[in-house]
Amino acid sequence: MKQIPNIFTLLNLCLGVVAIVCILQTGESIATLQGNEWQISLPESMSWAALFLGLAAVVDFLDGFVARLFKATSEMGKQLDSLADVVSFGVAPGLILYQLLRISLASEPSGLDTPIIAVLPAMLFPAAAAWRLARFNLDTRNIEHFEGVPTPAAGLFVASLPILLHYNPFNIQPILTNKWVLYAICLLLPWLMVSTIPLLNLKFKNFKFAENKSRFILLILSLIFIVFLGWLAIPAIFISYILVSLLLKNKQA
């Protein structure tokens, strides 16, 4: 029974590895010029990678739940969880950013001659994920908020990008294939992960509105985004989480 949570953790890691395989199987991306804009068609494998990372996030949530259910928390499980998260929510999203940058740069004139250094900013993401998770494992303080953006949250934000490019809600594709937008993501997300900005812990200790005002506001916003924005709700919820945490930080329970 004590090893069941660790099996869930290893499943998280395996799903991350499968996602990486999908990301590396992109093959040829189709770019067509429509008017003055390039329209990018990503191979299905990138969308499958996003799906596997979503499943990894579900398993990552369940392993903690199962550990508490069977009272099987351990130092081994803590270290294993971080190692799995580095793969699923660090390396895999970093490779998604790498591929998106590569595709974006290739669509430019003489883009195929772009030096490798132009896509290296994508590697900041897995580096920041590893740094944050190592810092978390060494932190013995009993604090009720997150310091910096949790690695799974940042990883899911990146995982949503291939889905958004596939379904192209509100014609967002030109924005997400803009190299400067991608560079901004490559710099901003790692900074948010390694920062010590206090962010909201989403766990409800009770359901009193006065003690969970920020959580209820975020929950209501999330439901509204899901109904009206579809897949675009994922980055919208992520951004709202940060804003609600910062604007209502004195109201956090």
Q: What is the 3-state secondary structure (H, E, C) of 148-207?
A: CCCHHHHHHHHHHHHHHHHHCHHHCHHHHCCHHHHHHHHHHHHHHHHCCCEECCCCCCCC
Give residue 208's pLDDT band: very low, low, confident or very high (50, 70, 90): confident
Give residue 250's pLDDT band: very low, low, confident or very high (50, 70, 90): very low
Residue 43 pLDDT more than 50? yes
Looking at residue 112, its pLDDT comes to 64
Q: Residue 171 region, left (φ>0) first, then alpha (ψ -120 to 50), else beta?
A: left
Looking at residue 200, its pLDDT comes to 87
Give residue 202's pLDDT band: very low, low, confident or very high (50, 70, 90): confident
Q: Which residue has the higher pLDDT, 244 or 141?
A: 244
Looking at residue 64, its pLDDT comes to 76
Q: Rounded to whole angstroms, how far apart are CA atoms 221 and 43? A: 32
Looking at residue 133, its pLDDT comes to 93
Looking at residue 252, its pLDDT comes to 47
CATH class of 4-27+40-132+141-199: mainly alpha
Q: What is the pLDDT of residues 59-95, one digit of tens each?
A: 988 887 777 777 767 788 888 999 999 999 999 999 9
Q: Which of 106-120, 174-188, 228-242 has the lowest mean pLDDT?
A: 106-120
Q: Rounded to whole angstroms, how far apart are CA atoms 17 and 102? A: 21
Residue 2 pLDDT more than 80? no
Residues of the chain with CATH 1.20.120: 4-27+40-132+141-199
